[in-house]
Structure 1
Amino acid sequence: MMISFSTRVEHYPQLKSPMDLAKKRAEEQEPEGLVIWADEILKAVGRHGRTWSANKGGMWISLILRPSLPVHEGPRLNYLASWTLLQTLKPYFQDREEKPTLKWPNDIVVGKKNQKLAGILTWAHGKKDLEYLIWGIGVNISNALPESFEYHGVHKREDLATRLCDWNGDAKVEKLLFEFLNQLEEEYGKWQDPDFLTSRIQDLAENCSTLGQWVRLYINEEDYMEGIARRMDPYTGQLVIERDGKEKAYFAGDCFHLREPE
């Protein structure tokens, strides 16, 4: 049965965290398909417990999903969100030489500096099988960006982020939201096909600006791996990094594109 995301949208002018509200509703047995949409986020929690806020003018949503999957298969499904978001954003760049691409594992970037345009944060709950999965999705559209960032030695706003309105003046939050949800309805209705997710991961790999780059992948706040990003595993979506002739695959991490050391 196809899930209708576009008909179950709860809109809030301001929330501390759409993800937190989505978790609460999921614990209360809310059926899958609910979308929590906030104009402004006050204090959300991201990877490694980092807090962040988001100004009005961006698209900030969380979706509740209940796929019948083992917990370890959840990361594969997350790539469906990345692919759908990427396809939704591409038409806004049809008159531009530079196009949006995936920066592994879940950011959409654009421009020569791979500036972040959008990102996806996921939350999976369950022991053996998934009880629910939440996608938190954010897109910079016309929102004010922070004056500076400070993360792993990167401090300048222009080095990290961009907005959709800087590339296409017709970009509007509500329009983009329902374009994304309508496309997601079609994509999500196909995920149970055993070959469908694999094909979407392969599609993403062809649109991934990380591949071929010398990268630094932070596994946690302190530990990282550097090497050449060779490929995405076609089944799991893991990033395969080569260093000194040896390859290792990673499920997740904070990935930065670097110049290869001399």
Structure 2
Amino acid sequence: MPDKRQIILKALYRSEGEPVSGVKISEDAGISRVAVWKHIKALKQAGVEIKSLPKGYKLQNADNLLYPFCFPPHLQDKIFYFPELDSTMDQARKIARQGVPHASCVIAEIQTASRGRLNRPWASDRGGLWFTLILKPDLPPPLGWTMNFAASACMSEVLAGLFDLDVRVKWPNDLLLNGRKLSGMLAEIETRADMVNFLFLGIGLNVNNEPESDQYQAISLKTALGKSVSRKQILIRFLDLFESRIKSVDPARIINQWKDRTATIGTEVRVQTHNQVYEGKALDVDDTGALIVKSRDGITRKIIYGDCFHS
């Protein structure tokens, strides 16, 4: 975002809902009132809700903004916001080597080419919470799965706590609400020698968007609650809880926290991998994050990856 536009947006945000005159913005930004009007127009076109009033400009729905300056000081240098990206995952890969902090968060208002597991497309319209975490865990690659499980359990807890909703985790790392998909996660690992160099954890959460369709069994928080909610509040709570959970990685603890929130164990499932489909009852998740499924022929299998569907 151009510096002048960011100055204008900061001034509106920090006015705490009160109108800010064009004269005041012009003085603060060091530009003409015509230039202020042009920048305000560009911000509106980018999706920022700004109302023009006789006394000036007023920011609408300020609590839903995801710019770095909107977050608490301890998170501001970790937030990288973009109005539109092809994919937050791809952008995270680009900036990871620029010395960004561990657990930095790349956010997009809209993604135009986002993807889920097995390279399936993921709809990322305005109003959702689309982000990728840049993690630098001190872990060998076989323990990378712990980040997914920790993240899905944390997000489930945060949403249950904020909105009193029974949000459940579905193996390996989706979130379900009323049996419908509320969130999906995708992890990609980059290794160096025998350790994880970067782990990119992409998360898509349906918040104030409307993902429901005949094709996708999805739901948003707005649909479930009948009102819009603060994406920023969700993200702050999640980032704080998640980072505290992964300071020391204990796979058994992470698995147990995930199991406390699971909707998969004990359920009839169908798991689709790249070239096979397994059906049966989900008995457990072992200490490697694998799903244990007992098929109707009595054979018990350990499934390491795949898309899981509840029957």
1:78 is aligned, of 125, 148, 152, to 148
Structure 2's unaligned 5+ residue stretches are 1-73
For residues 290 and 76 of structure 2, what CA distance do their matches in structure 1 show? Answer: 30
In the superposition, relative to structure 1, how do residues 6 and 75 fare at CA in structure 2: closer, same or farther (>3 Å)? farther
Partner of 2:189: 124
2:208 is aligned, of 96, 120, 142, to 142
CA contact (8 A) 1:77 1:197 kept: no
Measure how far apart 1:224 and its partner are.
Answer: 0.8
Partner of 2:220: 163
CA contact (8 A) 1:228 1:241 kept: yes
| Mapped pair 1:230 → 2:283 | yes
In the superposition, relative to structure 1, how do residues 93 and 28 fare at CA in structure 2: closer, same or farther (>3 Å)? closer
Structure 1's unaligned 5+ residue stretches are 150-156
For residues 88 and 138 of structure 1, what CA distance do their matches in structure 2 show? Answer: 15
Alignment of 1:20-99 (within 5 A): 20-28=90-98, 30-94=100-164, 99=166
CA RMSD of aligned residues (A): 1.9
Render the CA deviation track for 1:40-65: whole Å, top value 9, x for unaligned: 11112332223333001011111101
For residues 87 and 106 of structure 1, what CA distance do their matches in structure 2 show? Answer: 14
SS in 2 for 1:51: coil
CA contact (8 A) 1:93 1:167 kept: no
SS in 2 for 1:198: helix
Partner of 1:9: 79
The structure number with the bigger radius of gyration is 2
For residues 202 and 251 of structure 2, what CA distance do their matches in structure 1 show? Answer: 20
SS in 2 for 1:44: coil
Partner of 2:238: 180
For residues 108 and 234 of structure 2, what CA distance do their matches in structure 1 show? Answer: 14
SS in 2 for 1:84: helix
Render the CA deviation track for 1:165-189: whole Å, top value 9, x for unaligned: 1233352211211121122222122
SS in 1 for 2:113: strand
CA contact (8 A) 2:271 2:306 kept: yes
Aligned residues: 235
Measure how far apart 1:144 and its partner are.
Answer: 2.6
Partner of 1:190: 248
In the superposition, relative to structure 1, how do residues 32 and 124 fare at CA in structure 2: closer, same or farther (>3 Å)? same
Q: After alignment, is 100-109 or 121-130 more displaced?
A: 121-130
Q: Percent identity?
A: 29
For residues 141 and 199 of structure 1, what CA distance do their matches in structure 2 show? Answer: 29
SS in 2 for 1:23: helix
| TM norm structure 2 | 0.71
Q: After alignment, is 125-134 or 9-18 more displaced?
A: 125-134
Point out the structure with the larger strand share. 1
SS in 1 for 2:155: helix
Render the CA deviation track for 1:173-210: whole Å, top value 9, x for unaligned: 1121112112222212232xxxx331121121132111
Q: After alignment, is 162-171 or 203-212 more displaced?
A: 162-171
Partner of 2:168: 101
Measure how far apart 1:33 and its partner are.
Answer: 2.3
SS in 2 for 1:54: coil
Measure how far apart 1:6 and its partner are.
Answer: 5.6
SS in 1 for 2:258: helix
CA contact (8 A) 1:201 1:237 kept: yes
For residues 82 and 110 of structure 2, what CA distance do their matches in structure 1 show? Answer: 8
Higher RCO, Cα 8 Å, sep 6+: 1
| TM norm structure 1 | 0.83
Alignment of 1:237-256 (within 5 A): 237-243=289-295, 244-256=297-309
In the superposition, relative to structure 1, how do residues 242 and 219 fare at CA in structure 2: closer, same or farther (>3 Å)? same
Measure how far apart 1:31 and its partner are.
Answer: 3.9
Partner of 1:152: none
CA contact (8 A) 1:6 1:181 kept: no
SS in 1 for 2:219: coil
CA contact (8 A) 1:8 1:33 kept: yes
